[in-house]
């Protein structure tokens, strides 16, 4: 995938916590950018996985480790989906 270089300014206090020599540093920054774009609904989970060069299941697992849910359902939506699934199963017996 083609890349571009972006420079950003950060507070000096961050510098002591960032190890830019860490080989995984750039990767973690890329992941955080993708996760932010997902949360803002600017890209899909599939697109984020594609950009990061990982499969969707790995992306979902990584999101979970960061506390970002793949399914953003409230309990009423879950109950409604369960009822619909039960109804479909009954109709297809």
Predicted local confidence at residue 50, as pLDDT:
95
Report if residue 2 sits inside a domain: no
Number of domains within the chain: 1
Report if residue 41 sits inside a domain: yes
State the chain's mean pLDDT as an integer.
Answer: 87
Output the CA–CA distances (angstroms, integers) from residue 37 to 15, 19, 25, 43, 48, in the order listed. 24, 24, 19, 6, 8
Report if residue 6 sits inside a domain: no
CA angle 89, 92, 93 (to 5 degrees): 90
pLDDT tens-digit map of 23-57: 888 888 898 899 899 889 899 989 999 999 999 99
Round to whole Å and give the CA distance between 6 and 29: 12
DSSP label at residue 41: T
């Amino acid at each position: 995938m083609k890349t571009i270089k972006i420079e950003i300014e950060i507070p000096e206090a961050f510098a002591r916590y960032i190890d830019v020599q860490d080989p995984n540093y750039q990767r973690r920054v890329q992941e955080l950018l993708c996760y932010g774009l997902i949360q803002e609904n600017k890209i899909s989970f599939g697109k984020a996985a594609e950009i990061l060069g990982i499969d969707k299941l790995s992306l979902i697992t990584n999101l979970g480790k960061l506390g970002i849910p793949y399914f953003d359902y409230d309990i009423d939506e879950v109950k409604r989906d369960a009822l619909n699934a039960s109804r479909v199963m009954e109709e297809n017996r």
